[in-house]
Amino acid sequence: MKAMILKEFRELRRDRRTMAMLIVLPIVLLTIFGYAANFTVDTIPTRVIGPGAEQVVANAPDLFEIGEVDADATTNDALAWMRDNETEVVIDTTTQPPTAYVDGASLFTAQSASVAFARMGDQVQVDILFNPDLETSWVMVPALIGLILTFIGTIITSIGLVKERQSGTLEQLAVMPLKPADVIIGKIAPYFLLASFDMLVVTFLGVWIFDVPFEGNPWLFAVGAGIFLFVVLGIGVLISTVSQTQAQAIQLAIMLLLPQILLSGFIFPLDAMPTAIAAIGRCLPLTYFVEIAQGIFLRGAGISALWIPFAVLTGMALLVFSAAVLRFRRDLAPSAHHRAKAKAA
Amino acid sequence: MPAWGAHGLTVERGGRAALADVTLTVEPGEIVAVVGGDGAGKTTLLRALAGAIAPTSGDVAAPALERIGFMPTAAGVWRDLSVDENIAFVAAAHGLSGETLRERRAALLAGAGLEHATSRLARNLSGGMRQKLAFSLAMLHRPDLLILDEPSTGVDPVSRVDLWRMVSLAASQGAAVVMATTYLDEAERAHRVMVLDAGEILLEGAPAQVLASVPGHVVESAEPGDPGRTWRRGRRYRVWSPDEPPHGTARVADIEDAVVAAAIAKGA
């Protein structure tokens, strides 16, 4: 038995990825659940409009972090700000009693705001926009599409590519008269199409079964999903280039998937996380897809409101996909790569 | 038709030379067997010839990719595709279609004994059948240079005979064939043999030349000699000596004797 235990430890010591999972994962989970897993929102970005603005600012609970105070703004301005996700709450004093517009697409923020307003009694009437019943599924389904695309893009794609390497056929492809671009596109296109099909199915099922509203432009959503797919497929290809076996690819994909699930704002609100943890979340592609998906589905937001997540995702797609193609190309045509390097030297 | 091969090929891996200054030539219609133990550099040489790895130094003279047929160690068939689908994919990659494809497909399937297994998935084929399918894929476009990495390893004796028949046919049709093998009896059927040891050429030439070029003396004996210089063949022993022939009948019976004697001589 001693020999068996010793053998197991020796094998584990040499399996660096499993060791990384054993050591890094508990630390990551502890950090995430310790700091990030927080449903309680401490501050809510709030704007106040109308003639009674100053008085509301003076009486508002600390939870509401009052940003802009605009006595001249109208209710239409308030609704536009909410649609464009410029703020989470607008207190409109043009009505009597004042109306608090709350963004129902930010579930936990909306719940905290509702509780705080309820404590104020009749002073404020609350109007929850975009998700009036604060349905969890309405917020989850758009984000879930991103998770499914991430799953297919990273895990399934990397498994498919590593399978080719593991069975020796990648080497076969490398010496067949196929252009590297043909092989790369030929390998990735089916996953792109399958993920797109899955996206359509989940979108239709979400709208049909869970009554999730689709307020925005479907084409804008399709473009966002397409850009996001390039990012996750690129990550899948990159994983495959540093994995020798399917088990290694799955391990690495899970290590990249887990932070995306926990830190993208899809389960725990980014606003409730400490700045450093939220900053990690802001480096993850799913964070931006969640913003785009929830924005288009629930708020009917257009490109003017969503250009930042679109721009960040496009940048990520260019960077990750180019790196993935270059690495994959090097695996496919090492001799050509060597010749090019020699020529450059 | 030009000869193919490599000149002064060196491949370094992790600071160690997997191949050191290896030169190999193979003429059209010729079969060159590359033999050697595990880690001798056989696969590295073949992969460098095929362009699948980049040499550290030296030159490779190989035809364009579309004129190379390569069968890697791990068989190189798509296991989740059927026999027919494997052939269709490789044919499409080589731009083969119509009557040419039909004829070649039929001839290769018949030669490989796979004509009744065309709809079977490659992963459900026996090891020998899978190797023969991989060979058929490498041969489908009638390459000028056919590179086979241990095509018969793990294959039953009957399938080995089939494979050799296919290899000989490919050579007779004008292909230059380089094949790695761990079976020394197979190597004797090649036109020329190259024996590799730790990335270096130990012996090279036609099988008869290889037998004649063993350094020192080898004798057959009923009794074992110096354990570091003796090996067993059946019930008898072979003993190698660098200078004075030991007592016994001089005998280098086959490539196996030559390889073992050359390896002992290198270490002496």
Instruction: List Cα–Cα distances, A8 to A4, A15, B44, B111, in angstroms.
Output: 6, 11, 32, 48
CA A244, chain centre distance (Å) = 28
Residue A345 lies in a domain: no
Q: Can you tell me the distance from the alpha carbon of B240 to that of B225, in angstroms, rounded to the nearest whole number?
A: 9
Q: Which positions in chain A touch B72 (Cβ < 8 Å)?
A: 168, 171-172
Which residue in A234, A244, A250, A236 sits closest to A162, CA to CA? Answer: A244
- Give the pLDDT score at A337: 43
CB atoms inside a 10 Å sphere around CB B103: 10
Q: Which of B49, B53, B87 to mutate to test the interface with A (most CBs of A within 10 A)?
A: B53
ipTM: 0.79
- Which residue among A77, A112, A129 closes a domain? A129
Same domain, A206 and A145: yes
Q: Can you tell me the distance from the alpha carbon of A132 to that of A172, in angstroms, rounded to the nearest whole number?
A: 58
Same domain, A155 and A274: yes
Chain B residue with minimum CA distance to A171: B52
Same domain, A204 and A148: yes
Q: Can you tell me the distance from the alpha carbon of A203 to that of B128, in angstroms, rounded to the nearest whole number?
A: 48
Residue A342 lies in a domain: no
Residue A343 lies in a domain: no
Contact B77 A169 (CB under 8 A): yes
- Give the pLDDT score at B45: 93
Bridge partner residues of B25 (DSSP): B5
- Give the pLDDT score at A340: 44
Q: Can you tell me the distance from the alpha carbon of A142 to that of A264, in angstroms, rounded to the nearest whole number?
A: 13
Extents of the domains making up chain B = 4-198, 214-267
Same domain, A157 and A238: yes
- Give the pLDDT score at A339: 44
Residue contacts between A and B (CB atoms, under 8 Å): 58
Neighbouring residues of B226: CB distance < 8 A, sequence distance ≥ 6: B239
Residue A140 lies in a domain: yes
- Between β-strands B145-149 and B68-71, what pairing exists: parallel, antiparallel or unpaired? parallel
- Which residue among A112, A129, A146 closes a domain? A129
Same domain, A26 and A175: no
Neighbouring residues of B16: CB distance < 8 A, sequence distance ≥ 6: none
Which residue in A328, A320, A269, A276 sits closest to A294, CA to CA? Answer: A269
Chain A residue with minimum CA distance to B78: A169
Residue A28 lies in a domain: yes
Contact B54 A337 (CB under 8 A): yes
Give the residue numbers spanning the domain of A198: 136-337
- Which residue among A129, A154, A173 closes a domain? A129
Identify the segments of chain B with pLDDT beneath 50.
none
Q: Which two tokens stand for residue A271?
A: 């606003």
Q: Which two tokens stand for residue A130?
A: 């975009």
Contacts 24+ apart (CB under 8 A), B63-66: B63/B4, B63/B143, B63/B144, B63/B145, B64/A177, B65/A175, B65/A176, B65/A177, B66/A177, B66/B94, B66/B141
CA A267, chain centre distance (Å) = 10
Cβ distance B261 to B216 under 8 Å? yes
User: CATH no. for residue A106?
Assistant: 3.40.190
- Give the pLDDT score at B89: 93
Q: Can you tell me the distance from the alpha carbon of A131 to that of A295, in angstroms, rounded to the nearest whole number?
A: 12
- Give the pLDDT score at A345: 41
Q: How far B82 CA sits from the closest chain A CA (Å)? A: 15
Q: Can you tell me the distance from the alpha carbon of A130 to that of A297, in angstroms, rounded to the nearest whole number?
A: 9
Chain B residue with minimum CA distance to A177: B66
Instruction: List Cα–Cα distances, A17 to A236, B170, B262, in angstroms.
Output: 17, 45, 43
Residue A304 lies in a domain: yes
Same domain, A181 and A118: no
Identify the segments of chain A with pLDDT beneath 50.
337-345
Q: Quote the DSSP letter at residue B156.
A: -
Return the half-sphere exposure (C-beta side, CA atoms, 13 A cut-off) of residue A96. Answer: 1
Q: Which two tokens stand for residue A284?
A: 């993850």
Same domain, A12 and A145: no
Stretch 40-69 of chain B: residues touching chain A, C-beta under 8 Å: 47, 50-55, 60, 64-66, 68
- Give the pLDDT score at B32: 95
Contact A171 B66 (CB under 8 A): no
- What integer best gives the mean pLDDT of chain B? 88
Stretch 132-191 of chain A: residues touching chain B, C-beta under 8 Å: 167-169, 171-172, 174-178
Cβ distance A78 to A87 under 8 Å? no
In what side-by-side order are the strands of the sheet with A64-70? A64-70, A44-49, A89-92, A99-103, A125-129
Same domain, A100 and A240: no
Tell me the residue length of chain A: 345
- B51 closest CB neighbour out of A168, A175, A178: A175
- Give the pLDDT score at A25: 79
The CATH superfamily of B4-198 is: P-loop containing nucleotide triphosphate hydrolases (3.40.50.300)
Same domain, A97 and A195: no
Cβ distance A69 to A47 under 8 Å? yes
Neighbouring residues of B102: CB distance < 8 A, sequence distance ≥ 6: none
SS3 letters across A60-75: CCCCEEEEEEECCCCH
Residue A48 backbone class (left: φ over 0; alpha: ψ -120 to 50; beta: rest):
beta
Cβ distance B26 to B177 under 8 Å? yes
Residue A110 lies in a domain: yes
Cβ distance B41 to B90 under 8 Å? no
Chain A residue with minimum CA distance to B95: A177
Per the structure, how many domains does chain A have?
A: 3
